[in-house]
Chain A
């Protein structure tokens, strides 16, 4: 709906919800709204048999003038409105057509009074006689119809934005899960092992298959923590082939309740980040620590990696996407009760997930 350049940004600012009133579809919509209102007004005003078509024609003419003039006014003021806050812009968008209605009503009244006053009643009745009453009625009708139209545009815009956001989240999720770098490096490792160590190559293919199966089951929902940690261990095995003794992972997870249910792929992306950003840049390698504990009804999972002494620049984009994705999925699973904390020092980078304990039985009932 809105200008294209905004859409490419990762979090586009909420675009102004009013459509472009110079565009053909919007002009058509305005004509349609004017006509519908004209029919409603005519129907409400009199019995069908008595001059219905003439009444409809003059009401249509009157309302089309108002509708199209308002559209023109909004078309030209839109760039200016888009820069204002939503509340102010909405107030102006509401006031503008009401003002146009008032103006055209006034013109119509004086036009009728000046040119057709004193003519035979048939023609004169086409124009209003009661000045104040005419203006007030039009004002109220314009206000209500316009408010409804604005509401419609707003809801349509929000709905479209929602659809776009969901699509983007899905793409982000896919990107966070399958890092091309990992896929091609694993393929290369397998190609190398096929001749030197066929047994290991076979295991690596099996591990890779399991890992991708877990990644692609997007709608799987919650799985036992034991399974989630197993997926992370499979991932470690594949990376181990490639990095050899540069990679050490210390699993301190024995104290965790293994049957508790967690959203799938919580730990593996954290381990992947820790290896990609923590271990790979270190010539001598290092140790990733995966640890966890249960405090009452809350589980804390930590993944920490050493930090390269000369690490330059800001946290990597891929890292942020993965963390945002985990944060969103935890929020969906435990609204308001889960947290993702990141702490980094000169030597260590730690991500801590905190979420409530969910027993399998309790979850099944929910």
Chain B
């Protein structure tokens, strides 16, 4: 069984690694210090199980598990936490394993075996349901079996097509399979709906200009073209950005 250890604290990683090495049929495939690193490594190493700390800098364990569940072959995620009563309350109702620090060797062996019995699609569903719906810090895009992360603060705008949503960010353009409405709910008030099909990052707005008779357009920092503001939403948008 290939196991990926994710924890921001070196002593915690060392201990888990030692415990795993003492178990039969288990090997530590790699170590990551935060959620983003875990996702990058999971794509390369294809581990069977990820031992995931919850409280980590950058991207926390709960969000990382959410992104991992979207892989074609998602690993089983076992949360490891010192004390995080809110998160644990969410997992209690689920069959997803979690371990409490300091982790006992027998508990670890039990939980790993339980995880090994679950099929991958089951795991994906469990991981998705277990993660409380908190605001994400990154979006994940699937690329050739791996996940690419886009930090939310680098997103300029979302543009909805008939079927897909295009994410325009500082590093380029990507297609994602999420609805504009769900994105708007998750990332309000940092993103503003300016048109039926456009959601714009407030922090990247450079100006709002009059583009014609009662028509307005939003110009973004470092971006040549303008995005039209729909007549229906113009008053809301203007009120928010012009006071």
Contacts and interface: CB of A to CB of B under 8 A. Distances in A.
Contacts of B135: 312
A187 to B, nearest CB: 5
Interface stretch (B10-18, B118-126, B165-173, B230-238): B10-18
A282 B83 CA distance: 19
A351 B90 CA distance: 34
A243 B7 CA distance: 11
Contacts of A308: 57
Interface residues of A, number: 26
Contacts of A244: 9-10
Interface in B44-100: 55, 57-58, 82-84, 100
A310 interface: yes
A189 B82 CA distance: 11
Interface residues of B, number: 23
A241 B14 CA distance: 13
B145 interface: no
B82 A181 contact: yes
B100 A242 contact: no
A280 B83 contact: no
B15 A191 contact: yes
B58 A188 contact: no
Contact of A283 (B10, B14, B34): B34
B57 A192 contact: no
Given A309-B153, A312-B135, 17 more contacts: A180-B82, A184-B83, A184-B100, A184-B101, A184-B102, A185-B83, A187-B102, A188-B103, A189-B11, A191-B15, A192-B11, A192-B12, A192-B14, A242-B11, A243-B9, A280-B57, A283-B57
29 contacts: A181-B82, A181-B83, A183-B83, A184-B83, A184-B102, A185-B9, A185-B101, A187-B101, A187-B102, A188-B9, A188-B12, A188-B82, A188-B101, A188-B102, A189-B11, A189-B12, A191-B15, A193-B11, A196-B11, A196-B18, A243-B9, A244-B9, A280-B55, A282-B57, A283-B34, A308-B57, A309-B153, A310-B137, A310-B153
